[in-house]
């Protein structure tokens, strides 16, 4: 069964007004430009790719790693072909350019936002927004950015499910990096679940599958707790 897989060049519609993301117009047809899942909406037909790089867009929230400190800028790896620049003025408070490494050094993680992207793909970041900050604990898991929408779910339903079922704090960056904080067990489970979503991103009924996955995990988790209690006795 084809399960609505589209392959580059496939004709997906003959109404060129329907051309959405992952498609292009050729003559009077709409064709797939990427290999992925066909998504037929009311107004647009799109193809959701199952692989690909994160290409930054203004106002995207992303998780970055400082790779270099240069004069009045931090260079930030945002898991993209394009590096991010965080200007000293975009740090939440005024700091001296002599002391930049004291506030953010190579290897530090930040929860940041893309402030602007120009035509030459110069990506400027900011930390001067609500929620944005330096991440000093927790863990980061990276998945393919094209699968991020499945981790978030429709109107954030999947991420809410994960947070409440697992009981951990999570932040999903648009660039494929997810920050997770909580107890070690919670983090481990959250990472397993995120990987499960990534592996099954192309399948239908994902929310139910994830619920079942978590339920199965919960059993083994409580089983473990039980065992360890027995050990103590």
SS3 sequence of 16-82: HHHECCCEEEECCEEEECCCEEEEECCCCEEEEECCCCCCCCCCCEEEEEEEEEECCEEEEECCCCC
- Per CB under 8 A, the segment of 154-162, 166-174, 196-204, 215-223 that binds another protein is 196-204
65 lines the binding site for another protein (CB under 8 A): yes
Q: How far apart are the first and last CA of the chain?
A: 55
Three-state secondary structure call for residue 155: helix
Residue 113 CB, shortest distance to another protein, in Å, is 18
Instruction: Mark the segment that binds another protein (CB under 8 A) among 88-96, 105-113, 152-160, 209-217.
Output: 105-113
Q: Among residues 89 and 121, whose Cβ is nearest to another protein? A: 121
Among 13, 33, 46, 73, indicate the residue that binds another protein (CB under 8 A). Answer: 33
Helix (H, G, I), strand (E, B) or coil at 129: coil
Among the residues of 155-205, which ranges form H helices?
157-162, 184-199
Residue matched to tokens 């690909």 = 52
Nearer to another protein, 7 or 156 (CB): 7
Contacts of 120 (CB under 8 A, 6+ apart): none
Scanning 38-46, 140-148, 208-216, 224-232 for contacts with another protein by CB under 8 A, the matching segment is 140-148
Examine residue 20 and tell whether it contacts another protein (CB under 8 A). Answer: no
Would you count residue 155 as binding another protein (CB under 8 A)? no
**What is the CB neighbour count within 10 angstroms for residue 211?**
12
**Contact with another protein (CB under 8 A): which of 19, 46, 73, 79?**
79
| Shortest distance (Å) from residue 104 CB to another protein | 10
Q: Is 185 in the site for another protein (CB under 8 A)?
A: no
């Amino acid at each position: 069964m084809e399960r609505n897989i589209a392959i580059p060049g496939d004709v997906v519609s003959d109404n060129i007004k329907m051309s959405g993301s992952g498609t292009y117009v050729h003559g009077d047809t709409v064709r797939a430009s990427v290999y992925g899942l066909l998504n037929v909406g009311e107004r647009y037909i799109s193809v959701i790719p199952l692989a690909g790089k994160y290409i930054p867009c203004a106002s995207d929230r992303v998780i970055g790693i400082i790779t270099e400190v240069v004069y009045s800028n931090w260079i930030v790896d945002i898991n993209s072909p394009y590096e991010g620049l965080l200007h000293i003025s975009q740090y939440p408070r005024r700091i001296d350019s002599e002391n930049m490494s004291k506030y953010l050094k190579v290897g530090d993680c930040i929860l940041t936002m893309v402030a602007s992207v120009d035509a030459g793909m110069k990506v400027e970041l900011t930390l001067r927004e609500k929620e944005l900050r330096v991440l000093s604990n927790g863990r980061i898991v990276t998945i393919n950015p094209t699968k991020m929408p499945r981790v978030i779910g429709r109107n954030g339903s999947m991420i809410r499910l994960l947070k409440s079922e697992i009981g951990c704090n999570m932040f999903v960056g648009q660039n494929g990096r997810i920050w997770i904080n909580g107890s070690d067990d919670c983090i481990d489970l959250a990472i397993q679940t995120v990987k499960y979503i990534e592996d099954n991103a192309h399948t239908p009924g994902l929310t139910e599958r994830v619920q079942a996955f978590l339920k199965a995990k919960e059993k083994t988790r409580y089983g473990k707790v039980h065992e360890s209690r027995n050990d103590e006795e």
